[in-house]
Amino acid sequence: MLFAPLGCLAAVLLFLSIPLILGLFFLNLLTFSFGELGLSPSTAVAVIFLMLVGSLINLPLTRRRVQYTMPANVRGLFSQPRTQYTGVAVNVGGAIIPLCLCLYLTRVVPSLWQVGVATLIMALVAKAIARPVPGRGIVLPMFIPPVLSALLAILLARDFAAPCAYIAGTLGTLVGADLFNLHRLKGFPGIVSIGGAGVFDGIFLVGIVAVFLTALV
């Protein structure tokens, strides 16, 4: 009976430590994946941190103010007109930082035609599976970009699969999911963010899953 409280305490501490253990494992996986791209551990951690923080920042490209009136209420009166902004913005963590990393990686790959083919295929697939969702923008299943880009990189550029997977996954998702579907969001209220909302999950996982999968082959 004396050991029961200690056993419960150990179980509680183990349960509370699970998020920390998973966080450390995830951080090591991130560091390993970005290390396969030629980044040092300290640089990889800095890039990961900037992407996470940057996901909260959207830089407006266009903005237009619109006014609308809510429908009549139960008293038969219209409410006061409300002002809302619509337009297009670019997400720092989901677009700008990944694009900068892609630009850096194009300088280290021995050939670009394989990367171009993989990116084109990825863009077409991303356009087909992406869908507009009111209040979120363009969303797509977050595991498809990294898995598909990894397979394309292994098939087309086995000798430099890791950078090819990252470039194809990042550019293909941004172009196919966001840019090719901007016209489908014209009637949506609010600011549309390129690389933000549902697309950010796919972009962020490209650097983890895609590069990790290519390292296993």
Give the tens place of pLDDT for each residue, 147-187: 899 899 999 988 888 899 999 988 998 888 888 877 776 66
Least confident residue range of 4-8, 116-120, 209-213: 4-8
* Beta-carbon contacts of residue 134 (< 8 Å; ≥ 6 apart): 188, 189
Q: pLDDT tier at 123 (50, 70, 90 boundaries)?
A: very high
Residue 64: per-residue pLDDT: 67
Average per-residue pLDDT for the chain? 75
Do 72 and 78 touch, CB atoms closer than 8 A?
A: yes
CA atoms within 13 A on the CB side of 161: 23
Length of the chain: 217
Q: Tell me the per-residue pLDDT of 7-16, one tens digit each, with 9 for 90 and over.
A: 444 445 445 5
State how far the alpha carbon of 210 is from the alpha carbons of 2, 167, 207, in Å. 50, 10, 6
List the Cα angle 183/186/192 in 5-degree steps. Answer: 90
Quick count: other Cβ atoms within 10 Å of Cβ 35? Answer: 16
Give domain limits for the chain: 4-216
Number of other residues whose CB lies within 10 A of the CB of residue 206: 29
- 64 vs 74: CA distance, rounded Å: 31
CB 71 within 8 A of CB 91: no
Lowest mean pLDDT among 80-84, 103-107, 149-153, 209-213: 80-84
Q: How far apart are the first and last CA of the chain?
A: 52
- Tell me the pLDDT tens digit for each residue of 39-91: 887 787 788 888 888 888 888 877 666 555 555 554 545 555 565 667 778 88
DSSP 153-194: HHHH-GGGHHHHHHHHHHHHHIIIIIGGGGGGGTT--SEEEE
* CA gap 82, 94 in Å, rounded: 30
Q: What is the pLDDT of residue 25?
A: 53
Give the pLDDT score at 156: 92
To the nearest 10°, report the CA torsion of 22, 24, 27, 33: -80
Q: Whole-model pTM?
A: 0.77
Angle between helices 144-156 and 113-129 (to 10 degrees): 150
